[in-house]
Chains A and B, each alone.
Chain A
Amino acid sequence: MTSRRFITFERVIKNGIVSFGRNIWLAIAAIAMMAITLTILLFGVVANATFSHTIDEITDRIDVSVFLKDTVSEERREELISDLKKVENVESVEYISKEEALKRYRAQNVDNPELLAAISEVDNPLSQELLIQPQDPNNMQPIKEFLDQSEIAQLQSDPTSYSGDRKEAIDKIARATRFFEQAGIVGIIIFALISALIIFNTIRMAIFNRRDELVIMRLLGASTWYIRGPFVVETILYGIVAAAFSLLVCAALFAVASSTLQASSLGLLDIKYSGEYFKNNLLLILSLQLLAGIIIGAASSAIATRRYLKLNR
């Protein structure tokens, strides 16, 4: 009995493949639509990863620079650092000496001899500095309050520099990301529905084309599963072909994009990172596409066969 079942299972798959081959021209519209849907899904995943990567990057760059007077002793400085580390939301505190500050200044302005000439080693006008990384750039208040205490403000040579302008940029990106996320989800749902409808229609036509055969199968004692199964297998194949096709096209697109758009960044969209993310997560993306393709295909053919193969007589 089990071997019979296995043979039947094998036959259902085989018949599905045969039917797929026979209906390929009928199925092309369904496969193309599914490929578009899966491509949107792919871009959605990659864009989402890229945006959050961009946010992370910029967030990492948000910091607070505290410039200390030259008169602040090493002892006082160390005390300040250890106090700062206890302040809420402080991730890390880095000490930059006058010499180190000069080095960094030079490195930053290596292309600009005028600015380099303006500052000499003998008379280093740069302050020693404490560079604070916050854990959450949206919660700067505790750090600000600590630094604004008068005995600490008194140690500072220059006003504290908050790279707060960057925070606005982050908020903007975050808002854009949320918008794209929502638009993406709506888009995917709409396209998935259209794909499902087209597949549904394709299977409906395939059923009508083979109506006599299906009725005879039924009269000869074929089980519901034996009759419906091949249609479901067929549409699962649509999903697999569409996923493979979509992935190939996207791989080609990313290859072209990374070679023509040498500039690593297009505004908010870091194309280079997108390409890399795509490459590194190929398996994940492919599985996601296969999963979506198979679910859309199987669900719509299951409904179509249920509706148009009135087999329960």
Chain B
Amino acid sequence: MILLDRVTKTYNRRGPALERVSLHVEPKEFVIIVGQSGAGKSTLFKLLTREEKPTSGKIIVGGMDYEHLSDKDIPLLRRKIGVVFQDFKLLNNKTVFENVAFALEIAGLSNAEIKHTVPKVLDIVGLKGKENNYPLELSGGERQRVAIARAIVRQPKILIADEPTGNLDPKHAWDVIKVLEKINRFGTTVLLTTHNQDIVNTLKRRVVTIQDGKIISDRAVGQYRSS
């Protein structure tokens, strides 16, 4: 499903954010990526969504070789990948409902389909009753859940969640993780980054550890290494 072969990303002269990273993720896998702040986790995700281009190396996602992407392929690629951005990227002038509907509008779904789907997803992330609030009227955790709702509403083949539990208390954090597990059970490949030791240790999933832009460990049932 996802293949990175010796991928290097250098933003500027300060040295690479990712260096010769190779990673293979099977369809329907659930992979947790851990690493200190600045290790390069978000950079890895930005390469997958083509927000950034790799400096060198090969990336193939869902059979698409990123080297041969045309301008028209990029939107199609992004519609296949759901992303929970670390900084949410919500539209403050749109309500919760509109923010989630936005993703479906872009994909060309009808208004009827949108009206049908969005409330269901908001229910899943526990935002029932907040449909007409604006992001700035929400708590940090609620905003995070809007971002999650928007990422999963299109039922993507791949879900990338960059710190989706960062602003949540343990109960809500686990609610989010349960949503991700559920989506994974339905066949979506999930990539998750988190600093939450408890979640990593309890999930018993594959854990990839990045440090200074390099993968230093990759275990089928990983533990959080507090170094």
Query: Scoring B residues 170 to 207 as 1 if CB is less than 8 Å from chain A, else 0, what string do you get?
Result: 00000000000000000000000000000000000000
Shortest CB distance A65–B (Å) = 75
B106 touches A221 (CB 8 A): yes
A313 touches B51 (CB 8 A): yes
Shortest CB distance B144–A (Å) = 16
Q: Give CA–CA (A130, B51) in the complex, Å.
A: 88
A221 touches B71 (CB 8 A): no
A4 touches B106 (CB 8 A): no
Instruction: Report the stretch among B1-9, B34-42, B107-115, B214-222 that lies at the interface.
Output: B107-115
- In A1-26, the 8 Å CB interface with B consists of 3-5, 7-8, 11
A7-B109 CB under 8 A given contacts A219-B49, A221-B78: yes
Instruction: Report the stretch among A66-74, A140-148, A222-230 that lies at the interface.
Output: A222-230
A222-B91 CB under 8 A given contacts A3-B110, A7-B110, A11-B105: no
A223-B102 CB under 8 A given contacts A7-B109, A8-B108: no
- Kindly list chain B residues whose C-beta atoms are within 8 Å of the C-beta of A4: 107-109
- In B79-134, the 8 Å CB interface with A consists of 79, 83, 85, 89, 91, 93, 102-103, 105-110
Which among A3, A220, A222, A226 has the greatest number of chain B C-beta atoms within 10 A?
A: A220
Shortest CB distance B172–A (Å) = 24
Q: Let me know if A112 is at the binding interface, CB within 8 A.
A: no
Instruction: Report the stretch among A87-95, A116-124, A209-217 that lies at the interface.
Output: A209-217
B75 touches A221 (CB 8 A): yes
Shortest CB distance A10–B (Å) = 10
Q: Give CA–CA (A32, B89) in the complex, Å.
A: 37
Which of B75, B79, B91, B108 lies in contact with A212, CB distance below 8 A?
Answer: B91
Q: Let me know if B28 is at the binding interface, CB within 8 A.
A: no
- Kindly list chain A residues whose C-beta atoms are within 8 Å of the C-beta of B89: 215-216, 219
B91 touches A216 (CB 8 A): yes
Q: Give CA–CA (A219, B48) in the complex, Å.
A: 12
Q: Let me know if B77 is at the binding interface, CB within 8 A.
A: yes
Which of A218, A220, A311 lies in contact with B102, CB distance below 8 A?
Answer: A220
Which among A3, A222, A311 has the greatest number of chain B C-beta atoms within 10 A?
A: A222
Which of B49, B51, B71, B93 lies in contact with A224, CB distance below 8 A?
Answer: B71
Q: Give CA–CA (A212, B76) in the complex, Å.
A: 21
- Kindly list chain B residues whose C-beta atoms are within 8 Å of the C-beta of A11: 105, 108
> Nearest CB to that of A212 among chain B residues?
B91
- Kindly list chain A residues whose C-beta atoms are within 8 Å of the C-beta of B20: none
Shortest CB distance A309–B (Å) = 12
A219 touches B79 (CB 8 A): no
Q: A residues bordering B, Cβ < 8 Å?
A: 3-5, 7-8, 11, 212-213, 215-224, 226, 311-313
A-B contact pairs, 23 of them (CB 8 A): A4-B109, A7-B109, A215-B89, A216-B91, A218-B75, A219-B85, A219-B89, A220-B78, A220-B79, A220-B102, A220-B103, A221-B75, A221-B76, A221-B77, A221-B107, A222-B75, A222-B106, A223-B75, A224-B71, A224-B75, A226-B75, A226-B106, A312-B71
